[in-house]
Structure 1
Amino acid sequence: MNRLFFQPHQAGLSKVEAAEHTLRSINPDVQFEVHNYNITTIDNFQHFMDRISKGGLTEGGPVDLVLCCVDNFEARLAINTACNELGQIWMESGVSENAVSGHIQLIKPGETACFACAPPLVVAANIDEKTLKRDGVCAASLPTTMGVVAGLLVQNVLKYLLNFGTVNFYLGYNAMQDFFPTMTMKPNPQCDDKYCRDKQGEFKLKEAAKPKQQLVVEEEEEIVHADNDWGIELMSEVSEEELKAASGPVPDLPEGITVAYTIPIKEPTAGETVEESEQSLDELMAQMKNL
């Protein structure tokens, strides 16, 4: 975010304040609500949930969508817990520490996998992610990779809110190969998040209560034409012997080469034969000129 929003004259401001100033100058019609705190603490987490459930444009209503752009697993897990408990749809995004790949993910509690359904290996192995970073060393960062991932996130948000195109449940980005993998992950029945498991049960009951759609098989009506002025006949089935009988001679070909079909020999019919003549070509042409 520092590389996408921060401007030199904003030195001393927090990230959220700098982001608000920059975005407000771009579009002053947008309403901003700034909170500079750690959402993983108990008090701040409760306030964070309150803003999700009551911070919508309608008085006291929930927000339409939550976007996650945090940079550590602990904060993502806090957002995941809050959204699972409230049943709030949200989109998660992130860039890898080597700065050459990233992803976006649409999460619907109970319907798709939440962030805790498939935790990273270091988390599943109970390794503290703080031990992966060395003091005073910043992870690699490329504004271009972050810009691409941010653009993909916003594009997915627009498709979801405005209901057009195909909304991706998971879209990855590999900058080294320009590869964009997509997938949809089902929720994990043994997810560590209790609220995720509860929402899974609610979703199954909701799906079971929906009326089942009966598959209607439409019978094709037989087309019958009483008149056949042109004498057109359709052959529904042709035997292999009939095809051979209608084929012409097969030419001599090198080994390994075959023909797909041959030109049938056309038998002359009555009235199409021409008698042999001993006249020369010049005599025949002179007769044609005199006609």
Structure 2
Amino acid sequence: MNRLFFQPHQAGLSKVEAAEHTLRNINPDVRFETHNYNITTMDNFTHFMERVSHGGLENGKPVDLLLCCVDNFEARMAINTACNELSQIWMESGVSENAVSGHIQLIIPGETACFACAPPLVVAANIDEKTLKRDGVCAASLPTTMGVVAGLLVQNVLKYLLGFGTVSHYLGYNAMQDFFPNMAMKPNPQCNDRHCRKQQDEYKRKESERPKQEVVPVEEEVVHEENDWGIELVSEVTEEELKAASGPVPDLVEGITVAYTVPDKDTDTGETVEETEQSLDDLMAQMRKM
């Protein structure tokens, strides 16, 4: 955020304040609400949940969609916990520490995998992510990668809110190979977040109560059923000729058959071509007179 929105004259302002000033200058008709705090603390988390559930455009209504653009795992888990508890649909995004790859992910509580359903290895192995921070390394310091990921996120938001195109459940970006993996992840029934498991049960209940649509078989239309001219398709090869052209069937175990057989080269069919002294040119001349 500080590399996409921050301007030199905004030195001293917090990230959210600098972003709000820049965005307000771009579009003064948009209403902004800024909160500069750490959402992982108890008091701030409670206030964050209150604003998500009652901070929509209509007073007292929840927000339509929550976008996550934080830069650490703890904040993502806090947002994930809040959205699972509130059944709030949200989109998560991020850029890797080497700044050459990123991703966006649509999370629908109970229907798709939440952020805790497939935790990173550092969490699955019970390793403190703070111990992996390397001195002198500035995470996500390439504005072009962040611009691409931000554009993918906004495009996905527009498709979701305006109802057009295909909304991506997970879309990655690898700048080194220009690779865009796309996938959909189902929720983990053993997710550590109890609210996620609760949302999964609620989603299954709603799906079971939804009326089933009957599949009506479509009969293929018969073309030219009258057949006024009596046209028929018949094989010119008789069954005896077909057997004669087939080779011996090998002994196979039960359940295995051959698609076709090869005739024995040594088999004498009795049909030979009569030898003649005529040249090829003479034979072709006879054919032209026929």
Question: The TM-score by the shorter chain falls in which range?
Answer: 0.7 to 0.9
User: What does residue 66 of structure 1 align with?
Assistant: 66
Give the gaps of 5 or more residues in structure 1.
245-273, 277-291
Give the gaps of 5 or more residues in structure 2.
242-287
Paired residues for 1:100-249 under 5 Å: 100-135=100-135, 137-223=137-223, 226=226, 228=228, 231=229, 233-235=231-233, 237-240=234-237
Q: CA deviation at 1:220?
A: 3.2
RMSD of the TM alignment (CA)? 2.3
How many residue pairs get aligned? The number is 245
User: What does residue 245 of structure 2 align with?
Assistant: none
User: What does residue 42 of structure 2 align with?
Assistant: 42
TM-score by length of 1: 0.79
TM-score by length of 2: 0.79
**Helix, strand or coil for the counterpart of 1:53?**
helix
Query: Match of 2:143, as an amino acid?
Result: P
User: What does residue 84 of structure 2 align with?
Assistant: 84
Q: CA deviation at 1:136?
A: 5.6
Residues 96-139 of structure 1: per-residue CA shift (max 9 Å, x gap): 00000000000000000000000000011111111111356423
**Helix, strand or coil for the counterpart of 2:213?**
coil
Residues 157-210 of structure 1: per-residue CA shift (max 9 Å, x gap): 000000100000000000000000011111001101010000000000000111
Paired residues for 1:267-286 under 5 Å: none
Query: Percent of aligned pairs with the same residue?
Result: 77
**Helix, strand or coil for the counterpart of 2:118?**
coil
Residues 30-73 of structure 1: per-residue CA shift (max 9 Å, x gap): 11000000000000000000010000001100000000000000
**Helix, strand or coil for the counterpart of 1:164?**
coil
Cα distance, 1:212–1:239 mapped onto 2, change above 3 Å: farther
Q: CA deviation at 1:238?
A: 3.0
Cα distance, 1:275–1:146 mapped onto 2, change above 3 Å: closer
